Amino acid sequence: MTNPTTDPVIRNYREQISDNDLKILEALNKRIKLVKSLKDYKEAHGLSFYDAAQEDWVITYLCRANRGPLSNEGLREIYGLVLEWAKREAARLGEAETQ
């Protein structure tokens, strides 16, 4: 029986997954910073931050670009969370700056 902690193939896959997780984390943090910058700009110019049409466009754009294996349903669910959390984190960062 293979030991998952010493099997080189399992270890290699886990390393690749960990590397990919770090890239996802980096991309999420970059997205949050960009969203905060956009929020600051829009607020400084008297514009509403939330734009439902833009969020719909992002999801549609990503679904068209998606080649799988992630299903479009899964993409919509995950990206709905990403969009929501990016807005929350950008707001949190803005609040932290004013304190």
Residue 60 lies in a domain: yes
CA distance 15 to 8: 10
pLDDT of 43: 93
CB count within 10 Å of CB 57 equals 11
Residue 1 lies in a domain: no
End-to-end CA distance of the chain: 57
Residues of the chain where predicted confidence (pLDDT) is lower than 70: none
pLDDT of 39: 94
Contact 60, 80 (CB under 8 A): no
Residue 2 lies in a domain: no
Range of the domain at 22: 8-98
Residue 70 lies in a domain: yes
CA distance 81 to 83: 5
**What is the number of structural domains in the chain?**
1
DSSP 67: -
Angle at 39 between CA 38 and CA 44, to 5 degrees: 100
Residue 44 lies in a domain: yes
Contact 39, 94 (CB under 8 A): yes
Q: What is the CATH number of the domain that holds 15?
A: 1.20.59.10
The pTM for the full model equals 0.83
